[in-house]
Amino acid sequence: MAKPFVFRVKMASQTFISSVLSSIYSFRIVFLAVCGIYITYKICQIVYGTYHVRQRFDDIPSLPRHWIFGNLKAMGEKCNPRSGRHADYGFEEIWHELDRPAAFMVDLAPVDVRSFLIVAEPQIAESATQPSNDFKYSLPKSDAMQPLKPLIGKESIITAEDEEWRNLRKRFNRGFAPAHLHNLSPLIISKTQIFVKRIQDAANTGVVVQLKDYAQDLTTDIITQLAIEKDFESQSIPEGQSHKSATGILTASRILSRLIAVAGQGPDPIGQLDPVKRFQRWYYERLFDRELYNVLEQKLKQEQLQPKKRDVATKAIVQLAIADMDPTPALLRNTVAQIKSFLFAGQDTTATMIQWLCYELSKANHDPRSKDILRKLEEEHTAVFGAGAFSALEVLSQPGQAEELLGSKIPYTTAFIKETLRLHPPAGTARMIPEASSTSPPVYADIDGKHARIDGLRVYNCQWLIHRNEKYWGPDAHIFNPDRWLDEEYISNLPPGSWRPFERGPRNCIGQELALLEAKVVMAAVTRGLRFEKVGNTGLNGEKEVWGVANVTTVPCDGMTMRFHLRE
């Protein structure tokens, strides 16, 4: 009896195994077929897209395009992210080779069938960023911003479109208005005092530092205090401790920015697939979000317990934006995305500006023209803030003084800041022109006398080229000259949008008043008491001058290595 039973079991298991194997086999066939269809579809899409790009855009200047590889070779040579310089330098070379057109195209097909229009003239840049009949709030942002999402949140004001963006902007505008920022200026001044103290200490020891570290700590402290009234003490906490420990929020923010594929550096498919990097991105994004969520929740609870404690004038930006709203989890999540966006958009950019301000001051050590500029700054500061080399912050701390003195009493300093942002713009914008369809008409631009069709392209307003375009700024466009800003006739002859470090139109920088306020306070604090000495990449004795590299925004290549000196 036992034998036939064993035999039956054997037969049954053999039948079972063979049916499993045959299902796996048929699944494999189906899977391979689906993959084959998908790959064929993708190849057809790329071939069609490449053909389409090659047929179109003939009216737009570009380097000679290879029939298969378009401008990929030239881009690889001039704008390779691994070349250690920002793509803007490559665009400048191409622009000169093409005899400085108003705009030119870089054809990246077949790697990317959406090619770029690189804009060198303000008129075309304006048409991308000002509202029009077809685009109520200007052209949509480019898809090149997508990799930034873990850093800025999925619902960020930076990437939101249409009414969703409009509502966010309306809610946050109030907190960034100049009058509100001036009420919060004591915070900026007290944080700048710490920044100056750190530089003084470094001057006393003679140590060489990366100014980037000090500037980033300062801007982090300012933006977190102003946005959520939370002091992360970035300038005081030593590396490796508290918020700067391995699991600290400041570390999470720094690591996340490093991990994010850089919009301006092109696609990084290997990095995208790397499981370790993916896990790190996931981990630090959670950590960052959770910390900010907790802080926000705490702040709202305090507010509910003591609603009348402070008047609106001194409220943090975020508290002002969600006052009178029901603090639902969805609102909190959305608000965390905006805080992340302010940290991302306001920290590196402003820190980079501070580094270039100090760099331009440092040139007074060897360049007679810069020495003269420094003398004018000193005279202005002595007239406005009194005689002491470090008197400015004390004067600005007096009630009402910051608004009055920084508003209109330091025109030369304001010109110095504007000139710094003209020659060293830290950030820009890339937009996308939808392909013409039944709902979206074709878009044209006037490029050097030709009415060229440009829909389907990404548009990059290249501030580097627009700000140095001799056609508008004159033959000395490459020279640092703050005096140009005080020449009213010269300025009134510039076409609208010639200076656009904060971009323009409805989607311009919400934090520009804050950035300019920070710049003025820093200039007032450091100009007379400190001397900056560039170490390495000085541009002297055959050395290359410090240049910009892409690191989400454009940052100085060496973190602005400097030594500081106390001035007599």
Q: Which is nearer to ligand HEM, 107 or 360 (CB)?
A: 360
Binding mask 185-204 for ligand HEM (x = CB under 6 A): --------------------
Q: Does 514 bind ligand HEM (CB under 6 A)?
A: yes
Rg from Cα positions in the chain? 28
Contact pick of 70, 147, 264, 501 for ligand HEM (by CB under 6 A): 501
Which range in 63-71, 90-98, 286-294, 498-506 contacts ligand HEM by CB under 6 A?
A: 498-506
Q: Does 353 bind ligand HEM (CB under 6 A)?
A: yes
Q: Which residue is nearest to ligand HEM (CB)?
A: 511
Q: Which is nearer to ligand HEM, 62 or 142 (CB)?
A: 142
Q: Does 432 bind ligand HEM (CB under 6 A)?
A: no
Task: Name the one residue in this structure whose structure tokens are 């005092």.
Answer: 193
Site for ligand HEM in 323-352 (CB under 6 A): 341-342, 345-346, 349-350
* Identity at 21, one-letter amino acid code: L
| 64-94 burial: b if 16+ Cβ within 10 Å, else e | ebeeebbbbebbeebbebeeebbbbebbbeb
Which range in 260-268, 297-305, 437-445, 500-508 contacts ligand HEM by CB under 6 A?
A: 500-508
Q: Are 61 and 101 in contact (CB under 8 A)?
A: yes
What percentage of the chain's residues is helix, strand, coil (to nearest 5)? 60, 10, 35
Q: Does 224 bind ligand HEM (CB under 6 A)?
A: no
Q: Return d(Cα 152, Cα 146) in angstroms, integer.
A: 10
φ/ψ of 531, rounded to 5, equals -120, 135
SS3 105: strand
Q: Are 494 and 500 in contact (CB under 8 A)?
A: no
Residues in Cβ contact with 441 at an 8 Å cutoff, skipping those fewer than 6 apart: 134
What is the distance in angstroms between the CA of the first residue and the CA of the last residue of the chain? 110
Question: Of 467, 90, 64, whose CA–CA distance to 266 is shortest?
Answer: 90
Q: Is 509 annotated among the ligand-binding residues?
A: yes
Q: Does 530 bind ligand HEM (CB under 6 A)?
A: no
Contact pick of 287, 510, 517, 560 for ligand HEM (by CB under 6 A): 510
Site for ligand HEM in 146-185 (CB under 6 A): 157-158, 169
- Kind and range of the H or E run holding 491: helix 488-492
Question: Of 202, 93, 280, 85, whose CA–CA distance to 565 is shortest?
Answer: 202
Residue count, binding to ligand HEM (CB under 6 A): 25
Q: Which is nearer to ligand HEM, 57 or 232 (CB)?
A: 232
Q: Which is nearer to ligand HEM, 155 or 503 (CB)?
A: 503
φ/ψ of 330, rounded to 5, equals -65, -40
Q: Which is nearer to ligand HEM, 8 or 154 (CB)?
A: 154
- Provide, rounded to whole angstroms, the least separation between the CB of residue 166 and ligand HEM: 9
Contact pick of 232, 385, 502, 564 for ligand HEM (by CB under 6 A): 502
Question: Of 139, 136, 137, whose CA–CA distance to 128 is shortest?
Answer: 139
Determine the distance from the C-alpha atom of residue 233 to the mean position of all C-alpha atoms in its chain, rounded to a whole number: 23
Q: Which is nearer to ligand HEM, 362 or 553 (CB)?
A: 553
Contact pick of 118, 203, 215, 223 for ligand HEM (by CB under 6 A): 223
Q: Please state the residue numbers annotated as binding site for heme.
A: 509
Residues in contact with ligand HEM by CB under 6 A are 141, 157-158, 169, 223, 341-342, 345-346, 349-350, 353, 426-429, 501-503, 507, 509-511, 514-515
